């Protein structure tokens, strides 16, 4: 069966985040994207200077951005997201005072080529209708020598988890991430696995945040990859019945991945250390 990916659409994702933004940092992140996972990922982004210019694409409430400004001056950081509800929460965070916060589309970034030294995107690619286009944009807006750091989900192998993942959104394989980066023109592409401590290496259920992929831009200008029209035109009207179906069923399927971390946490407490779970 072909993946439905009911929330892998910009309008559905926009409404989805208007719903979960209420408790995003307090409820969602503790089970999916912890402080430790963020900090490990940002090490791979190589934020070695406070003067680096950094863009956090799909930055939402600014959870990852808060980690970025520990290494980079806020005035040099831009956070972009399509969800005004998520960005409202980012604007309330004192740590992000001085950061440029703006609405925008990850697949059509409003910046010239060769603008930033670092591109970071965490927990966003899963909603992109055309992930290759988004990664191509990452390449375009980076300076020569710039590093892109993509933090995202990994595809489950367990059949039930894979079913709900395919109904909800995009869970790429590790091989797909590497292929997308290399096709966009990135060099030195590397993938590192990340996950909550209580998963203890078990990855068959997939992870909403499960890997960190980095690549380096070696040549100035746009990506050498040529693409056709966008996969999704948000200016076109959407059938309200189809939209409502996608949104409701996709949101129900997402609930499964709120329960998996609870299951894995309990299993971690029950199963003796050193044994696979």
Q: In the predicted model, is pLDDT for residue 259 greater than 80?
A: yes
CA 160 – CA 174 distance, rounded (Å): 19
In CATH, the architecture of 10-218+239-270 is 3-Layer(aba) Sandwich (3.40)
How far separated are the first and last CA of the chain, in Å rounded? 28
Nearest alpha-carbon partner for 257 in 177, 130, 154, 121: 154
pLDDT for the residue 276 = 73
Coil, strand or helix at 59: coil
Contact 92, 62 (CB under 8 A): no
pLDDT for the residue 274 = 77
262: Cβ contacts below 8 Å, ≥ 6 apart: 31
The percent of residues in the chain predicted with pLDDT above 90, rounded, is 80
Q: What is the DSSP letter of 272?
A: P
Q: Which two tokens stand for residue 110?
A: 């409003």
User: Which residue ranges make up each domain of the chain?
Assistant: 10-218+239-270
Contact 62, 99 (CB under 8 A): yes
pLDDT for the residue 1 = 63
- 137-160 average pLDDT score: 97
User: Rg for the chain (alpha carbons), in Å?
Assistant: 18
Coil, strand or helix at 21: helix
CA 126 – CA 60 distance, rounded (Å): 13
What tens digit of pLDDT does each residue of 64-91 get? Answer: 999 999 999 999 999 999 999 999 999 9
What tens digit of pLDDT does each residue of 107-139 get? Answer: 999 999 999 999 999 999 999 999 999 999 999
Q: Which two tokens stand for residue 76?
A: 């040099």
Average pLDDT, the chain: 94
- 216-233 average pLDDT score: 92
Q: What is the DSSP letter of 108?
A: B
Contact 28, 20 (CB under 8 A): yes
* Residue 95 pLDDT grade (very low, low, confident, very high; cuts 50, 70, 90): very high
What tens digit of pLDDT does each residue of 182-194 get? Answer: 999 999 999 999 9
């Amino acid at each position: 069966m072909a993946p439905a990916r009911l929330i892998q659409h910009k309008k559905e994702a926009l409404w989805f985040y208007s719903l979960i933004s209420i408790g995003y940092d307090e409820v969602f992140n503790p089970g999916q994207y912890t402080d430790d996972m963020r900090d490990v990922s940002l090490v791979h982004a190589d934020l070695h200077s406070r003067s680096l210019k950094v863009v956090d694409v799909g930055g939402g409430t600014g959870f990852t951005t808060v980690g970025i400004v520990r290494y980079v001056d806020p005035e040099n950081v831009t956070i972009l997201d399509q969800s005004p509800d998520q960005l409202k929460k980012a604007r309330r965070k004192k740590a992000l005072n001085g950061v440029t916060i703006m609405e925008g589309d990850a697949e059509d970034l409003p910046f010239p080529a060769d603008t930033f030294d670092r591109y970071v995107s965490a927990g966003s690619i899963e909603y992109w209708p055309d992930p290759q286009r988004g990664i191509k944009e990452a390449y375009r807006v980076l300076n020569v020598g710039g590093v892109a750091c993509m933090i995202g989900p990994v595809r489950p192998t367990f059949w039930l988890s894979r079913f709900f993942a395919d109904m909800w959104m995009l869970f790429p394989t590790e091989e797909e991430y590497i292929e997308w980066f290399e096709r966009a023109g990135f060099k030195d592409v590397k993938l590192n696995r990340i996950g909550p401590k209580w998963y203890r290496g078990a990855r068959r259920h997939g992870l909403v945040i499960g890997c960190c992929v980095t690549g380096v831009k070696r040549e100035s200008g746009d990506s050498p990859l040529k693409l056709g029209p966008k996969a999704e035109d948000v200016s076109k009207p959407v059938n309200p019945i189809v939209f409502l179906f996608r949104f409701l069923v996709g949101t129900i399927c997402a609930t499964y991945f709120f329960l998996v971390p609870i299951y894995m946490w309990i299993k971690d407490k029950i199963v003796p250390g050193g044994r696979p779970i």
